[in-house]
Amino acid sequence: MKKLFKGILDFQSEDFEAHRELFRDLKSSQNPHTLFIGCSDSRVVPTLITKTDPGELFLVRNVANIVPPFHMSDRFVATASAIEFAILSLEVDTIVVCGHSNCGGCYALNQSPETLQHMPNLLKWLEIIREVPDRVTRLMKGDSAAEREWITEEVNILVQMENLLSYPFILERVLAGLLKVLGWYYIIETGEVFNFNDETGHFEIVE
Ligand SMILES: [Zn+2]
C-alpha cells in the first residue's frame, strides 16, 4: 500500500510537472477520440500500449473486455452506460475492443462452472459470452490447450465487435462512416498488437 501513496507524490513531482499545461487544458472538458474497451487485467495498460496522453482514451475495463448486447435494463449497467456516454456525448470516432493473451476471463470459459461457484457475479458476467467456446471448437484445427486459449481470446474480441453493432446508435454511425470499430489482440510477453482485418478475416500484426 505504501507504494501507492509514494506513487502519488512521485506522479505529482515528476509526470504532472512535465505535463502541467496538458492538465490545465483538460481542466474543464475532455475530448477523447477513442473509446477503448479492454480487460481489467493488470498487465494490459491501454495508455502505455498506445502511447496516448490523458484526455485521449475513454476507457471501459471489465473482466474479459466484454460488451453486453444492447438492451434496456433496470439493472445497473456500467459498461453500456459508458458506451452511451462515449458515443452520444463525447462523440468519439473510434472504438477499440482490446483482448489479450493469457486472459483469465477467457480461460474461465473453458472451465466447468463449478470452478467459479464461489464467484457468482463473475460466473453470471461470463454468461454473456457463453457462445464463444462452441465457435472456438468449430475453428480449431488441432486439440491443444494453447490453440484453444488463443482462439478463444480472438473469437471473444470478434463477439464483442458484433455486440457493439447491436447498439442502434453505433450501427447507425458505423454505416454512415462516422465511427470505426477495431478489434485488437495484445500479446503480453512481446508487446505485439494484432489488428483484425475485416477484409481478410484475420488478426494482422501492426507494424
Ligand atoms: Zn483478460
Average pLDDT, the chain: 96
Contact 145, 111 (CB under 8 A): no
What local confidence, expressed as pLDDT, does residue 73 receive? 80
- Alpha carbon of 149 to ligand 1 centroid (Å): 12
C-alpha to C-alpha distance for 166 and 154, rounded to whole angstroms? 19
Q: How many residues does the chain have?
A: 207
Query: Which of these is catalytic: 10, 20, 25, 43?
Result: 43
Query: Which of these is catalytic: 41, 98, 106, 173?
Result: 41
> Is 106 labeled as catalytic in the residue annotation?
no
Show the beta-strand stretches assigned E in 27-179: 34-39, 57-62, 94-100
Averaged pLDDT, 33-46: 98
Q: 16 pLDDT band (50/70/90 cuts)?
A: very high
- pLDDT > 90? residue 34: yes
Averaged pLDDT, 51-74: 95
pLDDT tens across 64-121, in order?
999 999 988 878 789 999 999 999 999 999 999 999 999 999 999 988 889 999 999 9
- pLDDT > 90? residue 31: yes
Q: Which amino acid is at 17?
A: E
User: Which residue reads 448486447 in cell numbers?
Assistant: 69
pLDDT tens across 127-167, in order?
999 999 999 999 999 989 999 999 999 999 999 999 999 99
Q: Which helix (H) or strand (E) holds 36?
A: strand 34-39
What local confidence, expressed as pLDDT, does residue 74 receive? 78
> Is 143 labeled as catalytic in the residue annotation?
no
Question: Is the C-alpha dihedral spanning 83, 85, 88, 94 positive or negative?
Answer: negative
3-state secondary structure of 51: coil
Distances (CA, A) of 69 to 58, 66, 164, 166, 167: 20, 9, 7, 6, 7
Q: 196 pLDDT band (50/70/90 cuts)?
A: very high
C-alpha to C-alpha distance for 56 and 63, rounded to whole angstroms? 22
- Alpha carbon of 25 to ligand 1 centroid (Å): 33
> Is 61 labeled as catalytic in the residue annotation?
no
> Is 103 labeled as catalytic in the residue annotation?
yes
Question: Is the C-alpha dihedral spanning 193, 39, 32, 30 positive or negative?
Answer: negative
- Alpha carbon of 63 to ligand 1 centroid (Å): 6
> Is 43 labeled as catalytic in the residue annotation?
yes
- Alpha carbon of 66 to ligand 1 centroid (Å): 10
Closest C-alpha to 68, from 2, 126, 151, 111: 126
Averaged pLDDT, 24-37: 98
